[in-house]
Structures are given as structure tokens and as C-alpha cells.
Chain A
């Protein structure tokens, strides 16, 4: 189980991404963070804290649950439905630059669902995608604007992101097995 990012590396990566965000979005006036549940939410809140330290101002932050927009929801005739949790975007996304945050970018299907969900909340000026790990194997024409680490993987490997908030420690691990999906 090779560890591809440890806690220090994750921390430094998020700081670097935060600086890139400030560089690309001069003014930061109309910027807001939206994290994809669950780990994208934790990462968005961390980025929000780093951005506050850098710019001295709060960035509005929301959380998006994409379950009801999944493209595989009705594909299986019989089986339990995935759990749905609350979406909470406590600000208008109209005319804002939305920084969409997820832990792993893989097939691009989660991002597609997140884009559809976001558009139902309004018409943002732009949406930029931030991912901690890009593991390749895209099935849709989707590309991240900020990447923590490009990680070449085989299709039967899986990428696990562990974060303090949900898992008790910070780590990104590459696993050889296929038993758990590494975030679609």
C-alpha cells in the first residue's frame, strides 16, 4: 500500500493551490468554494481557511451532495439506493466564480453530476475545478484547473484519500485491488 501523499505533503499542496487561486482570481471579490461531499467538503473548508490567512477575508463556502444527479442511479434494476445527504450552499452562486473542490478526479462522472447540480442553483460567472489527486482514465471531456498531484494509475488500482475530519489522519494511498472505488 504505497503512500503517495502524507499529511505534510497534503498541507503544502493545499497552500500552493490557495496561492494559485489568488493569483488567477485577482480581487477574489466574487469567488466562492463548493466542496463535493464528503472529502471535497473537508478540502474546501481547509482551502477557505488558508485563503483567509492569505487574503484576510472570508470566502463563502458550501457543500454539494451529487447523489441525486448520479448517472448510474437508475441503471441497476434492484439494489439499495446510495445515501443522500444535505446540500448546503448558503449564498447565491449567480455571477460568482465557483471553485468546485473534489478529492479525486477519475472518470469525470462525479464532476459532470456536480456541474449539473450547480447549474440548478443559478448561473455562475465561471466554475473552476480543484482536485487533490488526478488519477487519469477520463470517460468524459473534463479537466481540472488546479491539481494537487497528477498520479498515473492502472485502471484496477484505487486511490484512497484519508482526511483528519472523516478518517482521523491525512494520507493519500494507492491500492492495487479494485474492491473500493477511488472516487469516480
Chain B
């Protein structure tokens, strides 16, 4: 029996369904829907621990993984999740698609739709790409990362990992350190953690802190010691060199000296702190190898939990929008 966990939602008003057709972002979700995904993911995690890691729940359903940006972790994680639920899966990577021949996103989506998939998992470099598909497609759309906007399943798997370790989300101090400006993981995590009652601190070079970030109910600082002090969770974000056109900081070495997570900095945090990273890691830039491979790191647990959380989302959306009157 798994250990009891508490969430900000009491049993009486717990959601029994997601009140939507698509998962476009965490911003749209109510706290009870977030709790439903996390609870369902606990059941899904057990499926992955069986000798036969497959259940017939999505038999006969077709899921298209449409990836316009390179991704190893997220795409394989979705694909394993789909296969464990017995869905038929189809992977379309941009390099081999008609997109290189000039087809628009909407046309690609409509052509796929004509083949009646049930779910489309979309990764795209433009913020809002999933919202566009949501309006023109009947299939359920799952956002697997859109530009600098949201990456909802990453935030859900982060929350699942935190809840599994800490047995709660409310009241925890979570410090998110790194490239705040370009990070969709940050945006989804801020929405999720503030909805669930965590105390969220964000930290990075002043040039990489979005101007209005305090509006989202978080505390921003460029002093890492302040962010990390007594933190229950430290989440590091990748320095996204491919998205940086300007000079946001002098050098990677200087970034590591000022913001890199080292064992010395770790001592300022709560003794039971956990270290998280959505991957892929730049060792020696945002995180020292001793920390990434150290006893506080739950980075590989995050990867394992990603499959369970994506199974939960695929399952919950496969019945269509439920309980719409209550939305």
C-alpha cells in the first residue's frame, strides 16, 4: 500500500474527471484536476512495475506523436506511456515530414486528422501551437512543450515526484534556479506549484528574469543563497543556449560560479532537500556532477515518473471532456 499523501484538495470536492478535451497548459487546470492526474498516475506507476507492463485500457485508440523540435526524453516517455496503455502509436518527426516541403502546421494537423487519430501529442517551437490545433482538431491535443509557453506534463511529473518524496505540495519552499526567461518548464511549474500552495522562489541572472514574474505569485531574486536557504526542493533549469541570441551573461564558467548548484550551496538548503532537473543537463553549467549524481538527486526518478504521469493524462483525456457543466 502506498503511503498516504495529502493535497490541497479535500476528498469531498475531488474531481472525478478532467473538465476538458485537451491538455494545453497547467494555467487552465483547477487544483482538483491536478490532484486527479497525480492520483491516477500513482495507479499507473504500479503498472510499470509489473512483469507484464501493459494494460488494455486504450486498445484500438490511435495516438500521433507530432514533434517539431528535437526531443528524446519526452517523446520516448510518451511513446512508452502509449504502448503501456495498448494504444497504437505513430511518430512523426519534423525532418521526415512534409513540413520541410513547406506545409503549414494547420495543414499538417488537418491531414493527420483525416486519418482519425484519437489523440495528438504536439511539441512545437512556437508558443500557442497547441491552442491552434485545439481549435481546428477533434482529436484530444496534449501539449508536449510549445515554445516558451508551457510544458504541462513536465510540471505534472515534477509535482508527482515532489509529492512522492515529501507527501505534500502545500507549504513547501521550492527554489527554481536557472534560465527563467526561456523556460516553458518554469511557467508550467509556477502555475502548478502556486495553485497547490507551495512557496515558490525563482532565481537567475537579472537578464534572464522575466519583468513581471512576481505577478505569478512567486518571489524572484538573483541572490542564489537567498533562494536556496532552507529550500525543500531545488529545481534547476537548463541554460538554453540555442534560444539565446543576445549576451545574457558573460560566460558559462561565470554562470556556474554564480548560479551553479554545488555541494557547498546545497548545505544552505533543508537537510532533506531534493534536487530536480527536467533535463537535458549541462553538467558544470547549472549543476555540478557531484550534485547531479549525489544522494539528494531525484533526477532519474523524474524520468521514471514521467511515464506514469503521461499514462494518467492519456487515460483521463481518452474519454473526452467530462463533467462540462461543472467547468
Whether the pair A120, B319 counts as a contact (CB closer than 8 A) is no
Chain B residue nearest to A81 (CB atoms) is: B319
Q: Are A74 and B55 neighbours in the complex by a CB distance under 8 Å? A: no
> Is there a chain B Cβ closer than 8 Å to A78's Cβ?
yes
B17 touches A68 (CB 8 A): no
Determine whether the beta carbon of B56 is less than 8 Å from that of A68: yes
- A116 CA to B57 CA, complexed, in Å: 12
Is B42 part of the contact surface with A, judged by Cβ < 8 Å?
Answer: yes
CB neighbours (8 Å) of B319 from chain A are 76, 78-81
Indicate whether B321 reaches chain A with its CB closer than 8 angstroms: yes
Determine if B43 is an interface residue (Cβ-Cβ < 8 Å). Answer: yes
Within 8 Å CB of A117, what residues of B?
A: 55
In the complex, chain B residues 17-46 whose Cβ is within 8 Å of any chain A Cβ: 17-18, 39-40, 42-44, 46
Q: How far is the CA of A74 from the CA of B88 in the complex (A)?
A: 14
A81 close to B17 (CB less than 8 A): yes
Instruction: Say if the beta carbon of A85 comes within 8 Å of chain B.
Output: yes
A122 to B51, CA, bound (A): 8
Q: How far is the CA of A80 from the CA of B50 in the complex (A)?
A: 26
Interface flag for B78 (CB, 8 Å)? no
Q: A79–B40 Cα gap in the complex (Å)?
A: 17
Cβ of B96 < 8 Å from any Cβ of A? no
Known: A68-B57, A74-B60, A87-B43. A80 touches B2 (CB 8 A): no
Bound state CA distance, A67 and B55, in angstroms? 10
Q: Are A84 and B315 in contact (CB under 8 A)?
A: yes
Within 8 A of B (CB), among A86-144: 86-88, 116-117, 120-122
Instruction: Tell me the smallest distance from the CB of A180 to a CB of chain B, in Å.
Output: 15
Give Cα A77 to B139, complex, Å. 12
Task: Assess whether B228 is interfacial by the CB under 8 Å rule.
Answer: no
Could you say which residues of chain B place their CB within 8 Å of the CB of A74? 57-61, 318
| Residues in A whose Cβ lies below 8 Å from that of B46 | 86-88
Complex: A114 Cα to B319 Cα, angstroms? 22
Which interface class (under 10, 10 to 19, 20 to 34, 35 or more) fits A?
20 to 34
CA distance A69 to B54 in the complex (A): 10
Q: Which residues of B contact A83 (CB under 8 A)?
A: 16, 39-40
How many B residues have CB within 8 A of the partner chain? Answer: 33
Residue in chain B with minimal CB distance to A90: B1
Which A residues are CB-close (under 8 A) to B55?
Answer: 68-69, 117, 120
Q: A78-B320, A120-B50 are in contact. Are A88 and B1 (CB under 8 A)?
A: yes
Query: Could you say which of A80, A86, A116, A120 contacts B43, with CB atoms under 8 Å apart?
Result: A86
A73 within 8 A of B: yes
A79 engages B322 (CB within 8 Å): yes
Chain B residues lying within 8 Å of A63, measured Cβ to Cβ, are 1
CB distance from A79 to the nearest CB of B (A): 5
Once bound together, how far apart are the Cα atoms of A121 and B16, in whole Å?
A: 28
Chain A residues near B58: list those with CB within 8 A: 74
Partner of A80, one of B16, B42, B51, B52: B16
B254 at the interface (CB under 8 A from A): no
Distance of A6 from chain B, by nearest CB (Å): 28
Contact B315 A81 (CB under 8 A): yes
Q: How far does the alpha carbon of A87 sit from the alpha carbon of B315 in the complex, in Å?
A: 16
Q: Are A120 and B318 in contact (CB under 8 A)?
A: no
* Residue B263 is within 8 A (CB to CB) of chain A in the complex: no
Contacts of B318 in A (CB 8 A): 74, 81
Question: Digit string of B186-223 for contact with A (CB within 8 Å is 1, else 0)?
Answer: 00000000000000000000000000000000000000
Instruction: Please give, as numbers and ranges, the residues of chain A lying within 8 Å of B18 by CB-CB distance.
Output: 80
A160 to chain B, nearest CB (A): 20
In the bound complex, how far is the Cα of B60 from the Cα of A53, in angstroms?
48
**A74-B2 Cα distance, complex, nearest whole Å:** 28
Decide if B40 touches A80 in the complex (CB within 8 Å).
Answer: no
Residues in A whose Cβ lies below 8 Å from that of B57: 67-69, 73-74
A78 touches B50 (CB 8 A): no
- Taking CB atoms, residues of chain A closer than 8 Å to B39 are 83, 85
- Give me the interface of B with A, judged by CB distance under 8 Å: 1-2, 16-18, 39-40, 42-44, 46-47, 50-52, 54-61, 85, 312, 315-316, 318-323
A-to-B contact residues, CB < 8 Å: 63, 65, 67-69, 73-74, 76-81, 83-88, 116-117, 120-122
Q: Known pairs A69-B55, A85-B43, A86-B46; list 6 more (Cβ under 8 Å).
A: A68-B55, A74-B60, A80-B322, A81-B318, A120-B51, A121-B52
18 interchain pairs (CB within 8 A)? A69-B55, A69-B57, A74-B318, A80-B17, A80-B319, A80-B322, A80-B323, A81-B318, A83-B16, A83-B40, A84-B44, A84-B312, A84-B315, A88-B1, A88-B2, A120-B50, A121-B52, A122-B51
